[in-house]
Amino acid sequence: MKKLVLSIAVFLAVFSCKTNPFTGKSTLNFYSNSQMFPMAFAQYDEFLSENKVVKGTTDAQMITRVGQRIASAAERWLDANGYPGYLKDYQWEYNLVQDETVNAWCMPGGKIVVYTGILPITQNETGVAVVMGHEVAHALADHGAQRMSAGMIQQIGAVAGNVAIQDPEKRNMFNTAYGLGSTVGVMLPFSRSHETEADRIGLQIMAIAGYNPDEAARLWERMKAQSGGQAPPEFLSTHPSNDTRISNLTAWAPAAKQEARKFGVTSFK
């Protein structure tokens, strides 16, 4: 049984990789778009039916406008870099939801929600573009499918350990150590790497869409001020610290502008 479990894990790891077009790196991904997207679309529709969607306001129109520009910029980049048709199964949708939570998210396949609670921090359309670029980048890089794939590997490891260890006391010790070690040592760094990757890809896309990438670091300075320093240590978090993000985004902004110039974008709003 142990050998079977390990064999399955190795098979999945070796034969379930997909290339990230923005980094050129292979990623662990057991799920195709045809598996992920219908589930995501159904969950998105359910969420909208249970929450207050803001329609017809200036802010709601801005969310749609920014989203469309970001998605169009992503498609231009992908087409120009040898990935035509990459977005053919995506169904972009952008909704503003009445909720004071400071958050936004994008489900696989391009289903995006922005909460009204984040708008005082974004302050303007360019600030919204920072958020939207980041969220769109998650969808473009298949981060949702990768997290599910990593979770499957984590579960297989737990099963293998429990099959191999017959002594109940040792098994309990293993489960405690494995749960903590795999979370802090693997899953949380994995999540932080996705957030960092989405920051970088999003910065590039927003610049191609004509938005000033310098605004990204300023947004996170406002995020830091809003949090009041109340955040867990970075190694215990799913996200990089505010200071790490500010430093990264500041360093990456010139390259994002340079990339945008390849598409004829020389001025930014």
Residues 6+ apart with CB under 8 A from 158: 175, 178, 179, 182
Other Cβ atoms less than 10 A from the Cβ of 42: the count is 10
> In a 3-state reduction of DSSP, which class is residue 107?
strand
Q: Name residue 111's beta-bridge partners.
A: 93, 107
Dist. CA 147–CA 29, nearest whole Å = 8
Q: Catalytic pick from 75, 135, 195, 197?
A: 135
Residues 6+ apart with CB under 8 A from 177: none
Q: Mark whether 135 is an active-site residue.
A: yes
Q: Sheet holding 93-97: strands in order across?
A: 53-54, 93-97, 111-115, 104-107
**Active-site annotation, residues:** 135
